[in-house]
Amino acid sequence: MRYFPRLPQYFSFSLFFIHLPLQAMASCNNSCGSLPVRYPFGTGFGCGSPLFFPSVTCTSGGISDDGGSDQLVLTTHTGTYPINSISYSTSTLTISPSTMSNCITMLPSTANFGLDWAGPFQLGPSMFVLLGCSANTSSLSYKNSAPICDMSQSHVCESLYSCPGMLSLGIPIFAPANSCCVYSPASLGPKGELDLADLHCAAYTSVMSYGDVATDPLRWQYGVVLKFGQTRFEEYGGAEMCGACESSGGVCGYTPPRNYFSCVCAGGVNSSIDCTGQDKAPRDLCPLILLDPDVIKFPAENIM
C-alpha cells in the first residue's frame, strides 16, 4: 500500500483520472550532457519545479563539457551561462561566464554578469575580484557608498597580478596591485548586475578555490558559485514524494496550468505518485493528485 506524505488536517486532495493527449505530456530527462538533473531543476517545460523554468533548461546544439550536444544552461536578463556543475547536497551550482577572466585569459569584460531579482538564485561563496580599476581600490566605492574592497585579502590581488593574462589588460606582470579589488561581500547592485563600468574596472574574475597551492593562481579554480533554496513543496513532504518518483525511474515535474505535482514516466505517462506499473497503464490516462494549490504545489514566489 502506498502512503502519501502526512499533511495538516486542513489540507484537502482528491484523486481522479483525466484523459490528456500524448503531445501535452512533458518530455523530461534525468540528465543533460554530463550533468545529472534532479528536482528542483528540469530539462524543459513541465520538468522539475516551475520556479526554476525557464531560468534553467537543457539546450541542444551547443557543446557540453563531455563533448555532447546538450548543455544545461542558466539564463538571466544579462545572458545565458553554461552550468558546469551542480551540488544537490549543498544546493549550489557553478557557472563560468564567458566574460569572466582567469589567470591564463584576461580580457576586458564586454557585458555585465547579473541575476534576476525575482529569480531563485543568490550569489554563493565564490570570491569576486575586480581587475584593472582606474581608481585606487583602497577607496573604491559603489555610487558613493562605503568602500567595497576587502583590503585584508590583498594577497589575492598580488597573486593574480603575477598571471600571464594581465598583459591582455595592458597591465605589466607583477605590477602594483592597487588597481585590484577583492569585492567582498559582493553585491550585484540595484540592477542585479556586476556593473564594471560604474565601478570603473576593466575586468573581473571569481575564485571558487585556491586548490592545493594557495599562492599559485594558475592552479586556482575559477567560476561563479550560486545558491538555490528549498521550495515550499519540499517543506510539506514533497522531498519524499519526489524521491519515490525518482527511485521508480521517473522525473519530478508539474502539470500546467495550475502546476500540480506529477511524476513524469517513460513513454509520456504522468503519475501523481511514481512510475511503478505505469508501463502497463493506458498511455493517455494520467492519475493526478489535486492538492490545495496554495499549499503543496510548486510556489510562484521567490524562495530566497
Cα separations in angstroms, 287 against 7, 16, 28, 122: 20, 6, 18, 36
Q: Which pLDDT score, from 0 to 100, does residue 24 have?
A: 37
pLDDT at 101 over 90: yes
pLDDT at 291 over 50: no
Query: pLDDT-derived band of residue 296, with 50, 70 and 90 as boundaries?
Result: very low
Q: Which pLDDT score, from 0 to 100, does residue 227 have?
A: 96
Cα separations in angstroms, 134 against 33, 63, 176, 185, 198: 41, 37, 13, 21, 11
Distance between CA 209 and CA 125 in Å, rounded?
A: 10
Higher pLDDT, 231 or 40: 40
Distance between CA 301 and CA 200 in Å, rounded?
A: 35
- Against a cut of 0.85, is the pTM above it? no
Q: Which pLDDT score, from 0 to 100, does residue 138 have?
A: 76
Dihedral (C-alpha) 248, 254, 260, 262: value to the nearest 10 degrees? -20
Q: Looking at residues 21-38, what average pLDDT do you find?
A: 75
Tell me the residue type at 83: I
Highest mean pLDDT among 45-54, 58-67, 230-239: 45-54
Q: Which pLDDT score, from 0 to 100, does residue 304 have?
A: 38
Q: Which pLDDT score, from 0 to 100, does residue 58 have?
A: 97
b/e for 139-149, b at 16 or more Cβ within 10 A?
ebeeeeeeebb
Phi, psi (5° rounding) for residue 18?
A: -130, 155
Query: pLDDT-derived band of residue 280, with 50, 70 and 90 as boundaries?
Result: low
Cα separations in angstroms, 114 against 27, 98, 120, 140, 171: 30, 13, 13, 20, 26
How high does pLDDT run on average in the chain?
81
Task: Give the tens place of pLDDT for each residue, 128-158.
Answer: 999 999 877 777 887 777 888 999 999 999 9
Distance between CA 292 and CA 171 in Å, rounded?
A: 60
Cell numbers standing for residue 106: 584576461
Distance between CA 127 and CA 159 in Å, rounded?
A: 14
pLDDT at 209 over 90: yes
pLDDT at 102 over 80: yes
Query: pLDDT-derived band of residue 223, with 50, 70 and 90 as boundaries?
Result: very high
Distance between CA 11 and CA 138 in Å, rounded?
A: 56
Cell numbers standing for residue 179: 588597481
Query: pLDDT-derived band of residue 26, with 50, 70 and 90 as boundaries?
Result: low
Only one residue has cell 543533460, namely 32
Beta carbons within 8 Å of 79's beta carbon, 6+ residues apart = 97, 111, 113
pLDDT at 6 over 50: no
Q: Is the Cβ–Cβ distance between 190 and 135 less than 8 Å?
A: no
pLDDT at 245 over 50: yes
Higher pLDDT, 118 or 57: 57
Task: Give the tens place of pLDDT for each residue, 56-90.
Answer: 999 986 555 555 689 999 999 999 999 999 999 99
Q: Which pLDDT score, from 0 to 100, does residue 269 have?
A: 79
Beta strands in the chain (DSSP E): 13-19, 31-32, 35-36, 56-60, 70-76, 79-87, 92-95, 113-114, 121-123, 127-131, 181-183, 193-194, 203-209, 221-222, 224-228, 251-255, 260-265, 269-271, 285-291
